[in-house]
Amino acid sequence: MDEHEGREMLAAALPIDALQHMFLEQGGFVVVWVDISERQDLEILAAQEQASEEDATCSWYYAHPGKHNMLLGLHIVAHQPAQMDMLLVFRMSQMFDQLSEIARLSTLWIVPGPPPIPLTGRIEMKAETFVPRILNVNGQGLFLHLPATQVAELRAELAKWKGSSSH
């Protein structure tokens, strides 16, 4: 992908407000807080009711592979809880650790931001407290389990980027 396509990818992406790792006894997931204020078609993410089933397909896109300014895009087309099409773009140099956690856990929760609590330092909160609080304040979001092929692709890109001497 060239410079122009990288700019287009950023322009089409949902702004990411923050990323936070949620630790649970049985694993965990990464919460991706997104700004949906300009996307009325994504208002379902702010609904208070938990969706009964979520169905989405994902694909990775790259701009500037292996370089310090590498961008990693995750295109998501969801069919449940409603039809949605969104693109998240991660700046590898700023979000490497969080992307590594996504690759390790293979699970992310995309939630309308901003976060209801400041996300600095380590935050300890039980899942029984955290999840209902997010559902009540921010909405259901979209919970994704990345398939093994998507996780393997992400891990390979992370390894290539980390092994590159250009950053």
Q: Where are the alpha helices (DSSP H) in the chain?
A: 3-12, 92-105, 127-137, 148-163
Burial of 11 (0-12, 13-18, 19+ CB in 10 A): exposed
**How far, in Å, CA of 4 to CA of 27, rounded?**
39
3-state SS class at 99? helix
Task: Please give the mean pLDDT across all residues of the chain.
Answer: 83
The 10s digit of each residue's pLDDT in 13-52 is 888 888 877 776 667 888 899 999 999 989 888 887 655 5
Give the range of the structural domain holding residue 67, as residue numbers without chain letter.
Answer: 3-163
Structure tokens at 94: 């700023």
Residue 33, CA distances (Å) to 81, 100, 163 in order:
18, 17, 29
Structure tokens at 114: 């901003």
**How far, in Å, CA of 124 to CA of 157, rounded?**
31
Domain count, the chain: 1
Per-residue pLDDT band for 118 (boundaries 50, 70, 90) equals low
Tell me, what's the pLDDT at 51? 56
Q: Span 109-125, mean pLDDT?
A: 71
Q: Span 132-147, mean pLDDT?
A: 86
φ and ψ at residue 77, rounded to 5 degrees: -120, 110
Tell me, what's the pLDDT at 10? 78
pTM, rounded to two decimals:
0.84
Tell me, what's the pLDDT at 75? 94
Handedness of CA 122, 156, 10, 69 (dihedral sign): positive
Reference 73, options 95, 90, 96, 56; nearest CA is: 90
